[in-house]
């Protein structure tokens, strides 16, 4: 039997995030995903264990695609964060993609929304040029990462499409803010959302 909206919301809320992650802007993620056209395309960078992914999938219209890119490797820094934030003990260098998949599938049930994972270094990612309706990024806060990410995905982000930059308000995300300031002819700042994110629009 298909779960109710309340059951899906409860399952999504139980998915661990890292600090001020997907749960803190869940209403925004659901609403923004709902604005994607039927059969549209969402790209999410660094979904971790699936908190933001689940809310994006919940809001997405029929036959939408959510494409998720992550290294999904339990390096020491992420093992420590998982332990600190959630008391989760991860094996060193464990592949976290199956955990992400299980978490997301528990929310989606028999939904027609398709969520696809791509495991690997985001700097080596490729994109076929499919137009992107919504872009969500939770890692590109260094000069190297924002340059690489926007080189790979930026040309495919549709005019008028929205971007959620999850680290925007963090002090260490200055390279990200500087990149968008330097490209103000292509992207405009809309507003901050939640305790750390920001919403931007492709011009």
Kindly report, residue by residue over 43-94, the tens digit of the pLDDT: 999 999 999 999 999 999 889 999 999 999 888 877 887 787 777 788 888 8
Q: Angle at CA 56, nearest 5°, toward 51 and 57?
A: 100
What is the reported pLDDT for 84?
77
Alpha helices in 35-86 (DSSP H): 51-59, 76-86
What is the reported pLDDT for 80?
82
CATH class of 5-202: alpha beta
What is the reported pLDDT for 17?
78
What is the reported pLDDT for 109?
67
What is the reported pLDDT for 62?
86
What is the reported pLDDT for 19?
67
Which residues in the chain show pLDDT less than 70? 1-2, 19-20, 109-110
Where is 164: in which H helix or E strand?
A: strand 157-165
What is the reported pLDDT for 129?
97
Does residue 86 contact residue 78 with C-beta atoms inside 8 Å? no
Residue 62 corresponds to which tokens in the numbers above?
């029929």
Helices 143-153 & 174-182, crossing angle to 10 degrees?
50
| DSSP string for residues in 134-171 | EEEESS--SHHHHHHHHHHHGGGEEEEEEEEETTTTSG
What is the reported pLDDT for 163?
98
- Report the distance separating Cα 191 and Cα 161, nearest Å: 14
Model pTM?
0.94
Which residues have C-beta within 8 Å of that of residue 190, sequence separation ≥ 6? 162, 198, 199, 200, 201
How many C-beta atoms lie closer than 10 Å to residue 185's C-beta? 7
Q: Angle at CA 62, nearest 5°, toward 71 and 18?
A: 30
Does residue 112 contact residue 57 with C-beta atoms inside 8 Å? no
What is the reported pLDDT for 110?
62
Query: Where exactly are the structural domains of the chain?
Result: 5-202
Helices 5-14 & 51-59, crossing angle to 10 degrees?
160
What is the reported pLDDT for 184?
98
């Amino acid at each position: 039997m298909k779960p109710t909206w309340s059951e899906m919301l409860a399952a999504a809320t139980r998915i661990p995030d890292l600090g001020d992650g997907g749960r803190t802007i869940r209403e925004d993620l659901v609403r923004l995903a709902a604005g994607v056209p039927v059969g549209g395309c969402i790209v999410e960078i660094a979904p971790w264990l699936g908190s933001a992914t689940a809310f994006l999938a919940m809001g997405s219209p029929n036959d939408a695609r959510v494409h998720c890119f992550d290294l999904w490797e339990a390096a020491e820094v992420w093992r420590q964060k998982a332990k600190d934030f959630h008391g989760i003990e991860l094996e060193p260098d464990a592949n976290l993609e199956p955990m992400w998949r299980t978490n997301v599938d528990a929310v989606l049930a028999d939904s027609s929304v398709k969520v696809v994972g791509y495991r690997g270094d985001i700097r080596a990612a490729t994109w076929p040029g499919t137009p992107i309706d919504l872009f969500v990024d939770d890692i590109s806060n260094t000069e190297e990462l924002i340059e690489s990410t926007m080189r790979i995905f930026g040309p495919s982000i549709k005019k008028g499409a929205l971007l959620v930059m999850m680290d925007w308000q963090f002090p260490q995300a200055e390279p990200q803010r500087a990149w968008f300031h330097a490209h103000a002819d292509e992207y405009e700042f809309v507003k901050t959302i939640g305790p750390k994110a920001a919403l931007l629009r492709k011009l």
